[in-house]
Structure 1
Amino acid sequence: MESLSPNIFVTDINASVAFYQTLGFELTMSVPEDGTDLVWAMLSHGGVTIMLQTYESLGEDLPQISRTDGGSLLLYIILKDINSYFEQIKDKVTVLKGLEKTFYGATEFSILDNNNYVITFAEHGA
């Protein structure tokens, strides 16, 4: 195995792209390619890639996909200079848990994305 890129199902893909761009992600690929009426988008920030897709685009192929936003998925993103990143985004997002040192030596904070998914950012050994 070489990498993991979550494909997050969302209701409003354009709003979701805008949210992740607020976090510093760049749109790297989309369907359709012209950016109108998106059904799928890939965003990247450093070594992290996230895909966004509408529920409808795979509804018949994979009916097992839940049709609700949020849920039991938590994205755990490791980065460097967590204090600066927290300062950059804290007033633009819903912070669930502020910066804190964990018992396993990481510094972390958690936010809620615009689809009610939880994202925890961490710096190990910070």
Structure 2
Amino acid sequence: MESLSPNFFVNNITETIEFYKLLGFNTIMTVPEEGVDYIWAMMSNGNVNLMFQTFESLGNELPEVTRTDGGSLLLYIKLKGIRDFFETIKDKVTILKGLEKTFYGATEFSIKDINGYVLTFAEDE
């Protein structure tokens, strides 16, 4: 295996792109390449790559793909400079759990993205 790039099903790619830009992600590729009616996008920040896709774009090929908002998934994203990152985004996102030191030594906080997915950011300080 060489990599893992989660592909999240969302209702609005354009809004999702704007949200993840707040978190420091850059748009790598979209389908279509230009416009606003995207059906797929890939974004990255450092070594973290995420893909976002509409249900409509895969509905006929993979009817087994279903979810409710947020699904039962939590992304655990490690980074450096967690305290500065938290201060940068805390007023722009929905904080589910504030900065705290865990029993296993990591400093973490959790947010909810605009599609209901939970993202936990962590740093081994």
AA aligned opposite 1:99: L
Residues 1:79 and 2:102 aligned together: no
Normalising by structure 1, what TM-score?
0.95
AA aligned opposite 1:60: N
Q: Name the counterpart of 1:25.
A: 25
Structure 1 ranges of 4+ moved more than 3 A: none
- 8 Å CA contact 1:9–1:69 kept in 2: the answer is no
The sequence identity of aligned pairs, in percent, is 66
Q: Name the counterpart of 1:116.
A: 116
Normalising by structure 2, what TM-score?
0.96
Alpha-carbon shift at residue 36 of structure 1 (Å) = 2.9
AA aligned opposite 1:101: K
Q: Name the counterpart of 2:52.
A: 52
Where structure 2 has 5 or more consecutive residues not aligned to the other structure, the ranges are: none
Alignment partners' CA distance in 2, 1:5 and 1:88:
25
Q: Name the counterpart of 2:66.
A: 66
Instruction: For residue 57 of structure 2, give the secondary structure of its aligned residue in structure 1.
Output: helix
AA aligned opposite 1:120: T
AA aligned opposite 2:9: F
Q: Name the counterpart of 1:88.
A: 88
Q: Deviations over 1:81-104 (max 9, x none)?
A: 100000000000000000011111
AA aligned opposite 1:116: G
Q: Name the counterpart of 2:104.
A: 104
Q: Name the counterpart of 2:11.
A: 11
Aligned length: 125
